[in-house]
Structure 1
Amino acid sequence: MQNLTVLGTGVLGSQIIFQAAYSGKTVVAYDLNDEILGALPARWEYLKPLYLRDLPDATPEKLDAAVARIRTSSDLADAVKDADIIIEAVPERLDIKQQTWEQVAALAPEKTIFCTNSSTLLPSDIAPFTGRPEKFLALHFANEVWAKNTGEVMGHAGTDPEVFEQVAQFAEEIGMVPIRIHKEQPGYVLNSLLVPFLNAASGLLVRGVATPEDIDRTWKIATGAPMGPFEIYDVVGMMTPYTLGKDSDDPEQREFAEYIKREYIDKGYLGKGSGRGFYSYE
């Protein structure tokens, strides 16, 4: 599968685009309008030094070649017309994902395999909207995909086993370590472990127990971990915990969502990629 289309060019979508292009794939980056897509060149310039820092084989020439393999489009029909595989990385809301796949189903070639990068939602809840449930499954990436390079592959009861293996192979071709998940699980493996950890940290914050800095410092000193929970929030970006938390049944998660909107999102502090979140990276 050489031709990839990525739907959504946010923090993780843009990383998937760049990583696939760096690995030799031809990539179309789709988003809703040209204004959003116009921000991508700055994103590539942000990612390049991170690749040079973290990947021994990265060179300026290879990174420029990756950018040359990326095409942008705000026309969905144009974006998917040649796709061998489509990875959807739109906001983490079931209704948005279902609507997106309904639109894609009417436009994509018959050959195309469909993948969602959802971090919490089940493929079986989206599959009926794809028009080809046997060719639909999840391929979930961790943030900073070039270095934290897991690719969680999770199908649903109707996923063709051959398609499942094709996606696992594709993940390997773009530098991921395929993690084959044998049963649907909300949060997959990574977020089943990570989300309760992050929720515990945000609960400590909104209850006034300790500051983000002291919570992070405690975790790193006591466990030897390289990052604390609020440093991880900065890598994930503020929009994901806000989107997940604002309608949560947990009042602490709703309070945390309101807090990060007021103190960070409304001020343009969207996390590490924007130069500032709980910490400054400018």
Structure 2
Amino acid sequence: MSTDPCMSTDHRRAQPGRGRAALARACCAAVTFVAVVAGCSETGTPVADPEAPTAPHAAPPAPAPPAESGPLAGFGDFAASLPADVGLAVTPIGGGQTLAGGAWADGPAWSTMKVAIAIAAVDAGTARTDDLDAAIRRSDNDAADRLWSSLGPPDRAAEATGAVLARDGDPQTRVNAVATRPGFSAFGQTMWPLTAQSQFASHLVCDPAAAPVTDLMRSTDESWGLATVPGAIAKSGWGPDEDGRQLARQFGALPTPAGGLVAVAIAAQPDSGTFEDAAATLTTITQWLAPRLPAGTGCTP
């Protein structure tokens, strides 16, 4: 694969999408936040991030009873007004209770899995600096494939990448070793729940071994979604479903108005099915969320 739809060099800033009531979605999108206690692209017009769903993985922790409260109160109504299926998960830095909402909860990782692959290559001492930069800041597919291959045969690469997830708060997600959809990478087809991804981000930003990668996430070439907030740590991924409808997702950490950071994972699959609308919807979600975040925390020694 040479071009990951999530990795193109077409870094146009996405404009916020226009919200409109979607009656058919109102019931599911109005599903309010649930508290989850967890054990913790781009060249030209994006078309596909090298990955897609279908691989099994361990089930995420069971959710607690619905409770729309705290900084995410009102997200159900907000999500129902958007012309897209959306999801959101927020976790304190260092792990803890994850607040989640929206109808979209789980799907293919796409290029967001490149973060764990890059860290695994850093751990193994096989990561070239230029490949790290290209895979994370520009989401270049060829660079990510080289990092993946540097970890050994696919089963060993998947094991090493999964070990990074487990070390940083997500022991349940199983990284694909074999592509389950022709034309897309194996690792990007890994199913990664937003709650698990948010938990991973909450530990990732405090992992000294991950610093070479998280530093690059602070200066991504992307200019939409979480990356529109100054000081954000972010990585995106996107690609089409079997019907060609684009999904875009991001994860990382946002600085809060009162200081500190909060881990965040977001996703959107627009009714239009286009990447442009998916990216714009993530920007709209970010603009709704950022000013509502409570005081965050920093990493403790």
Instruction: Using structure 1 for the length normalisation, give the TM-score.
Output: 0.30
The structure with more radius of gyration: 1
- Greater relative CO, 1 or 2 (CA 8 Å, sep 6+): 2
